[in-house]
Amino acid sequence: MQDAIRVLAGECAVRYESDGRTERDLRGDVVVIVKPDDTVLVHDADGYQPAAWLTRPGVVRYTRDARGFRIDAADGDERLVVESATEHGDAHYPASPAGPPVGTCECDGTLVRDGGRVVCIDCRTSYAIPRDAAVVDEPCPDCGLPQLRVERGGEVTACLDRDCTPIADVVAERFDGAWACRCGAPLEIEADRGLHAACPDCDASYRLPRGTVDGTCECGLPAFETPSGPRCLDGDCGQALTAGGRDRNS
């Protein structure tokens, strides 16, 4: 079952092997959780940490007999075998990413943030977003989905759905031709495996950093204030950065 957690319970023999050697040999009443990515977790009555586990194994096999279930999970030299002597239960439950709620999906389900994406916990629609993006309260005026706010030359707001109003279009509308290349031509914003400021005359191309423009580099290109500090648009430039005509290094 897709996007489901399988939960099995029973009196089980549990064996974890590594490099052909048995590292853990357990027996008791346990609950076995198999996540959608096939991670196997064996929990007993003590503590919060599993008694045994195998993360994202390459192979997971289920077999059954008159006594109950057997799970055999393997990943390279690691192997986890759980075999029930008495079975207490076997069920599937729906599972979704869990994260801070950030808005409402078009299906009226709840959207949550899960790292570099926003996911609807009802219809499972997923939107990839930059990890530095903030999801803001104002809905998109065109589709009603939440909007994203990022710093790409300046603070810009775009729709969560790239097919509606993508970040690239908003940045291009605001900064296309706003900055000059070293050769003097206006730089154009292009979206090709990321945002770039490209020169139509000398073919120079610079990946747009995360941050806002704050002054000018001595080489003539714009200087950016980024989360890691000031830098030139050209990440390989070694010239001093200036803000308001003042050398940042002074």
- Indicate the residue among 94, 119, 136 that finishes a domain: 94
Q: What is the mean pLDDT of residues 124-131?
A: 92
194 and 233 assigned to the same domain: yes
Contact 175, 190 (CB under 8 A): no
Tell me the pLDDT tens digit for each residue of 170-197.
Answer: 999 999 999 999 999 999 999 888 899 9
Least confident of 29-43, 82-96, 194-208, 227-241: 227-241
pLDDT of amino acid 241: 58
Residue 244 has pLDDT above 80, yes or no: no
Higher-scoring residue by pLDDT: 66, 11: 11
What is the C-alpha R_g of the chain?
27
- Residues 135-156: pLDDT tens digits? 998 899 999 999 999 999 999 9
Residues 112 and 74 in one domain: no
Same domain, 88 and 40: yes
For residue 243, pLDDT beyond 50: no
What pLDDT does residue 2 have?
A: 59
Residue 194's pLDDT is 87
**pLDDT computed for residue 65 by the predictor:** 86
Over range 195-200, report the average pLDDT. Answer: 94
Task: Evaluate if residue 250 carries a pLDDT over 90.
Answer: no
Query: Residue 138's pLDDT is what?
Result: 87
**CATH value at residue 67:** 2.30.29
More confident residue, 2 or 124: 124
pTM: 0.74
72 lies in the same domain as 117 = no
pLDDT above 90 as % of the chain: 84
Residues 37 and 113 in one domain: no
Domain that holds residue 153: 101-172
Q: Is the pLDDT of residue 240 over 70?
A: no
Residues 11 and 79 in one domain: yes
Give yes or no: residues 88 and 139 share one domain: no
Chain segment 3-32, per-residue pLDDT in tens: 799 999 999 999 999 998 999 999 999 999
Pair (183, 117) in one structural domain: no
Q: Give yes or no: residues 16 and 81 share one domain.
A: yes
Residues 45 and 89 in one domain: yes
Confidence of residue 246 (pLDDT cuts 50, 70, 90): very low
Instruction: Mark whether 90 and 9 lie in a shared domain.
Output: yes
Last residue of a domain, one of 79, 94, 109: 94
Shared-domain flag, residues 88 and 13: yes
Domain boundary among 60, 94, 128: 94
Domain count, the chain: 3
